Amino acid sequence: MNPILKVDKIEKYYGSKSNLTKAIDNISFQVEKEEFVAIMGASGSGKTTLLNVISTIDKVTSGNIYLNGEDITKFKGKKLDEIRRKELGFIFQDFNLLDTLTAYENIAVACSINKIPARQIQTMIEEIAQKLGIKEILQKFPYQLSGGQKQRVAAARAIITKPLLILADEPTGALDSKAATMLLRQMKYLNEEEKATIMMVTHDAFSASYASRVIFIKDGKIFHEILRGDDKRKVFFDKIINVISLLGGDVSDAL
Amino acid sequence: MLFKLSYKNIKRSIKDYEIYFLTLLFGVSIFYIFNSIETQAVTLDISNNMMQIIKIMSQVLSGISVFVSIILGCLIVYASRFLMKRRKREFGIYMTLGMSKKQISSLLFVETVIIGLVSLGIGLLVGIFGSYLVSGIVANLFKADMTRFTFVFSEKACAKTCLYFGIIYIVVAMFQMFIIRKSKLIDLISANKKGESKKNKNMLCCVIVFILAVVTLGIAYYLAIEKTFGNVNGDKMLLLAIFLGCLGTFLLFWSISGMVLKILINHKELYYRKLNSFTFRQVSSQINTNVVSMSVICILLFITICLLATGFSIKRNLDESLEKQTPVDYQMIISNDKSDYDLEDVQKKLDSYLSGNEMDKYKVKSHNFLRGLKGKSAGDLKWLEGDNQSITTLIYEYIFPVSEYNEYLRYSKKKTCELKDNEFMIYSTYVQKDINNQILEHNRHLRFQGNNFDYDLVCNSKTVNEDQDFLGPDAMKNGYIVVPDNVYKTLEKNAKNTGNLTMYGNKEISIQQIFDNEEFKKNEASDFYKVNVTNILSNSESTLDSSKVEQGLVHDFQEEIIGKDKLEAIKNENKNTKAENDIALVQEATGLNIYYINKKEVVDNSVGIGAMSVFIALYLGIIFMLSSAVLLSLKNLSESVDNTERYRMLKKIGAENKLINASLAKQIGIFFFAPFAVAVIHTIFGMKFAMYILKSMDQKINLPSVIVAIIVIIVFYSAYYLITYLQSLNIIKTDENKR
């Protein structure tokens, strides 16, 4: 079976010839269907750039990215919008909810953009809201919601169109630990029960320990990769911490 | 140091200052242009009379300038307050760095001075060049040729502009100081963290307020149209109508966004299509947070449309009615109100005078007719109406015999008319026309009754004629009737001092009721006077020397009839009294009423009034349009940051550019055209009101002019809409590229 995402020798340079920064320096990896992958790295390691190029927000300098077998680095404009709309779902650190819309409408916008008929939207939203436990807050505006609730609404928006791949950028970054745990559990639930493929970028070992595989990035290169296998989450967490300590002192803030 | 910091601040936030600066610049240049018209006109080849009118016009314009400067002042203070809000954080940082409030105030003062001076300088330059354009309009309106095209600089207008704007800048600076003084550091520092407390309006509340708004507007419209005219408290009613109109507009915008949104949400198919839910929510929240500025924009637009429409209407009407009002070059009217002079004699003397003074090279024609119902004008009748008396008589001032009237029609190359022995014709315009038509509906009889005669005439038409003309403006206004010759002869015979000559309009309703009225008796309603009118038409080659004719016809001729000695005596006797002119003086002393209408003068006045209304309309119209444009721009600027963030999110979740652009176009469109639509509704009623005013000024609303005015505004407004849309689009695009 084809992998959902195949990243093949991609590079991303910034700056001019005299002052070149390699944000991504020859990275290759794959994400299989129904996998929950975490990308870890310190700030400046290139993980956000990696997410940006995968999510088609940014372009690679060289190399190819295959999404479901299609090379998305070759696409432009409208086709990219279409890919973002149909194949990708996003969860951002700062939620990125539209503050003028209610939670319900925020989720519905993703559907309307995908030209889903209005009749179906309601049942779809009710179903997903049930699963994520946000049914009671659907008619509220973002400013009336807590961070955790906002992020769950964002998760619902990302998942409702049943995308191939969900990209999460530091989803717990703006949450307190209780809300973060709750969100991560729900992401795990989405991954295990709803068969969603998730790629999460984080610098937080606790968040990463919920994934089934963790890829470590340092200075634009893949530094290490560990699989969770049948380990308990606690054990996996310790393994991650070990790798981080190997990454060097400069990433001590990763904890 | 302070100067440098100020300079750099302005340079850095040039984008924010753009609108502020442009507002000042346009304000200054428009102010200069309209205040320099007099100076402009001097260079043009314009007659003395015209120059006089331009002088009056520039006085009126300078009066309006005070009002305009108040509007501009408010606008500039509003814009500066807006900029201050955006810079709160910056001031907060200065204060944390140890700057005192006083220093910040002086920093702001220096900034205001720099911007003020630069905008004043550039604005004046723009104004000086822009006044060329206005010279062209002046020349066109005043029908002068612009062969001599010289560079003019009006020092007076320049000094005035500097003074007025100087005062505005001082007010702005004081205002800024006041704001800085009362601000707290914590508020300044945390200014960027927006307090998102968007209240969701209660639906029931919205509906109630909406109904209230509609009722309020209804009352305002009703008051403006029905209660302001012919009412003792008319002006108070008008003020009340204006107040209620503003209040209603405000309530309407307050309630409408919530209501419309609620209705749309229930239309799921529409609401959840494309980005509609986003678009509607955006518009609704924009309207919610901008109720005041939307109401103000709406009212400004309304005033602008009304001003332009009325101004253009007056101009067009005057142009159209000019020929009608002045069928001949010169018209001399002699009426023998109370004097002992015999009009036959007077006319003979006039004829001999004219032939003896080279006047015979012009086409001269004299007509006789009667003048009656003196003082019975529309105003008096209003008063009668107020006393619960219904109007029962036709209103006219002059009576013509049909033969004489036909002769005149032939003379002015018009179709003659026919009249049966028991018929009469009636001509009147404007207010009188309506009243007379109402009367004709009930009763078409007109009865002349005296000691030895009794004529009962029937009107030969169902409604009043209005397209014929005979005399100049006076008769046009007051209306006249044409009767069979024999009736006229009898009336004429009994004309002088016929106390028993009564007029009946309606046999059923006792006319005596009206005649018993003290006020009406005073106006000597039952008297007729003989009148002679002499029309003079110049040959096509020779133009009439107005001053010569004036001298000849009025002064010399007066001398001829009254006698030189007596005339001198009258003048000497009344040296100390303030009679308007010699003519009025003589009339008072002798009872012989001689006056004249000079076509050129009428034309000049008409052109002048037309030009004046156009200029006033343009001046205020431009200022109001500028104001609403600035308000819209500031609103757009204030939301661009928030909105950019929102569009970025939409883009991230995969919304196509096409969808986003369409949503943006819809949002701005609704925001622009909602006030416009309400303003147009206001205009329908406002124009009704204007119609009454114009009617009382013998003018009417000219529908094409109203349409032209609306089209002009739509064109400008749409252009502005397009610019705003493209600008917003650009903000989103550049933001995308930056990433």
Per-residue pLDDT reduced to its tens digit, A141-182? 888 888 888 888 888 888 888 888 888 888 887 778 888 888
Return d(Cα B563, Cα B568) in angstroms, integer.
9
Residue of A nearest to B649 (CA): A96
Contact between residue B278 and residue A98 where contact means Cβ atoms under 8 Å apart = yes
Cβ of B281 within 8 Å of Cβ of A113? The answer is: no
Average pLDDT (B16-35) is 83
Residue A26: phi and psi, rounded to 5, are 60, 70
The mean pLDDT value of chain B amounts to 73
Among residues B199, B644, B660, B263, the alpha carbon closest in space to that of A109 is found at B660
CA distance A138 to chain B (A): 15
Give the pLDDT confidence score for residue A254 in this predicted structure.
44
DSSP collapsed to 3 states, B207-230: HHHHHHHHHHHHHHHHHHHHHCCC
Cβ of B278 within 8 Å of Cβ of A83? The answer is: no
Contacts of A77 in chain B (CB under 8 A): 657
Cβ of B654 within 8 Å of Cβ of A57? The answer is: no
Return d(Cα B267, Cα B117) in angstroms, integer.
55
Return d(Cα A128, Cα A148) in angstroms, integer.
16
Q: Residue B273: which of A112, A142, A143 has the nearest Cβ?
A: A112
Give the pLDDT confidence score for residue B338 in this predicted structure.
59
Give the pLDDT confidence score for residue B540 in this predicted structure.
46
Residue A139 lies in a domain: yes
Residue-wise burial string across B474-491, b where 16 or more C-beta atoms lie within 10 A, e elsewhere = ebbbbbbbbbbeebbebb
Domain count, chain A: 1
Give the contacts of B420 (CB within 8 A, at least 6 positions apart).
Answer: B460, B484
Contacts of A83 in chain B (CB under 8 A): 654
Cβ of A113 within 8 Å of Cβ of B197? The answer is: no
Alpha helices in A114-232 (DSSP H): 118-132, 147-159, 177-192, 205-208
**pLDDT band with cut points at 50, 70 and 90 for residue B196:** very low
Average pLDDT (B425-432) is 72
Residue of B nearest to A121 (CA): B272
Walk across the sheet containing B454-459 and list its strands. B502-504, B445-449, B454-459, B423-427, B480-483, B398-401, B363-372, B528-537, B330-336, B592-598
Contact between residue A89 and residue A161 where contact means Cβ atoms under 8 Å apart = yes
Give the contacts of A19 (CB within 8 A, at least 6 positions apart).
Answer: none
Give the pLDDT confidence score for residue B2 in this predicted structure.
66
Contacts of B642 in chain A (CB under 8 A): 99
Residue A180 lies in a domain: no
Contacts of A122 in chain B (CB under 8 A): 268
Structure tokens that stand for B440 in this block: 């004709």
Give the contacts of A178 (CB within 8 A, at least 6 positions apart).
Answer: A148
Concatenate the DSSP letters of all residues of B314-340 into one string.
HHHHHHHHHHHH-SSSEEEEEEESS-S
Residue A117 lies in a domain: yes
Picking from A76, A98, A146 by the largest number of B CB atoms within 10 A of its own CB, the best residue to mutate is A98
Q: Residue B654: which of A85, A98, A118 has the nearest Cβ?
A: A85
Query: Judging by DSSP bridges, how do beta strands B592-598 and B330-336 pair with one another?
Result: antiparallel
Return d(Cα B615, Cα B37) in angstroms, integer.
10
Cβ of B281 within 8 Å of Cβ of A108? The answer is: no
Cβ of B653 within 8 Å of Cβ of A82? The answer is: no
Q: Residue B277: which of A82, A86, A101 has the nearest Cβ?
A: A101
Residue of B nearest to A79 (CA): B656
Alpha helices in B443-536 (DSSP H): 473-478, 485-493, 512-516, 518-522
Return d(Cα B261, Cα B282) in angstroms, integer.
10
Average pLDDT (B355-367) is 60
Walk across the sheet containing A62-67 and list its strands. A21-31, A5-14, A62-67, A70-71
**pLDDT band with cut points at 50, 70 and 90 for residue B499:** very low
Q: Residue A121: which of B272, B651, B659 has the nearest Cβ?
A: B272
Cα torsion B348, B350, B354, B360: sign: negative
The range of the structural domain enclosing residue A154 comes to 97-162
Residue A138 lies in a domain: yes
- For helices A118-132 and A103-113, give the axis angle rounded to 10 degrees: 130
Give the pLDDT confidence score for residue B230 in this predicted structure.
59
Per-residue pLDDT reduced to its tens digit, B626-662? 888 888 877 777 777 677 778 878 877 777 778 888 8
- Residues facing A21 on adjacent strands: A14
**pLDDT band with cut points at 50, 70 and 90 for residue B518:** very low
Average pLDDT (B366-386) is 46
Cβ of A86 within 8 Å of Cβ of B269? The answer is: no
How far CA A38 is from CA of B29, B482, B652, B715, in Å, comes to 63, 103, 21, 57
Contacts of A113 in chain B (CB under 8 A): 274-275, 650, 653-656, 659
Q: Residue B277: which of A97, A112, A142 has the nearest Cβ?
A: A112
Per-residue pLDDT reduced to its tens digit, B591-606? 666 667 777 777 777 7
Parts of chain A with a pLDDT under 50: 250-255
**pLDDT band with cut points at 50, 70 and 90 for residue B625:** confident
Residue A75 lies in a domain: no
